Amino acid sequence: MKRTLVIGIGNTIRGDDGVGIRVAELLAERYTGFDVLCVQQLSPEHAETVAQYDRVVIVDASVATSALRVTPLHAAPGTRLPRTHDVTPTGILALAAALYQKTPSEAVLVEVPASACDFSEQLSSPTAALVEETIDVVAHYVMG
């Protein structure tokens, strides 16, 4: 059985930015068989964590998409980490590959459209409406 990690990324007091956390928490409540990690942002030490899994699903809010989007991730050679405040998903895979010569055989980024990222602990209606669909997509992927 593949060891699977779901990482929810977000800031729960910045409205829709917290949707990754919301999805990850609900997945943890409803399903078993995989680990869940909720973080405000990825940082270099998460490379060690990621390297220990066969499959990683990263769920994050995005203002760059208007529809739920699932993108395969690869540890691209030549990836740089220009800053340490927020390491990118591909950056963390590249770091895991460089440090531990091991990356998950499968990694995907699930982006949930976000439109309202002001100070709020509530998701906007459009983003909230996508939470269940996102959970289904991730659950189907990790349980399938």
Partner 1 sequence: MATRTITISPVTRIEGHAKITIQLNEKGIVKDARFHVNEFRGFEKFCEGRMMWEMGGITSRICGICPTSHLITSAKAGDAILAIAIPETAQKLRRLITLAQWLQSHALSFFHLSSPDFLLGFDADPATRNIFGLIAHDKEFARRGIRLRKFGQEIIEVLGTRRIHTPWAVAGGVREPFDPAKREYLLNWIPEAKATAVMALEALKAIHTKFEHDIPNYGNFRSLFMGMVGDDGSLEYYDGTLRVMDGDGNIIADKINPIKYRDYFGEASEDWSYLKFPYYKPLGYAKGMYRVGPLARVNICDYIDTPMAEAERKIFKALAGDAGTVNNSFYYHYARLIEILFSVEKIEMLLNDPVILGQNVRAKAMINQDHGIGACEAPRGTLFHEYWVNEDGKLTKVDLVIATAQNNLAMNRTVRQLAMQYLDGAKVTEGILNRIEAGIRCFDPCLSCSTHAIGMMPMHVQVVDHENNVLCDVRR
The interface with partner 1 within residues 51-80 (CB under 8 A) comprises: 79-80
Q: Give Cα separations from 42 to 22, 28, 31, 95, 115 (angstroms).
A: 16, 19, 24, 12, 22
Size of the site for partner 1 (CB under 8 A): 24
Confirm or reject binding of residue 94 to partner 1 (CB under 8 A): yes
- The CA distance from 64 to 83, in Å, is 20
Rounded to a whole number of angstroms, the minimum distance from the CB of residue 74 to partner 1 is 15
Which is nearer to partner 1, 28 or 39 (by Cβ)?
39
Confirm or reject binding of residue 83 to partner 1 (CB under 8 A): yes
Strands (E), the chain: 4-9, 35-39, 55-62, 69-72, 106-113
Rounded to a whole number of angstroms, the minimum distance from the CB of residue 88 to partner 1 is 11
Which residue in 6, 95, 107, 114 binds partner 1 (CB under 8 A)?
95
The interface with partner 1 within residues 28-47 (CB under 8 A) comprises: 38-41, 43-45, 47
Phi-psi region of 119 (alpha: psi -120 to 50; beta: other; left: phi over 0): beta
Q: Interacting stretch for partner 1, rule CB under 8 A, among 28-36, 66-74, 84-92, 127-135?
A: 84-92
Q: Give Cα separations from 66 to 25, 63, 92, 126, 139 (angstroms).
A: 23, 7, 25, 10, 21
> What residue type is assigned to position 52 of the chain?
Q
Instruction: Give me the residues that bind partner 1 (CB under 8 A), please.
Output: 11, 13, 38-41, 43-45, 47-48, 79-86, 94-95, 98-100
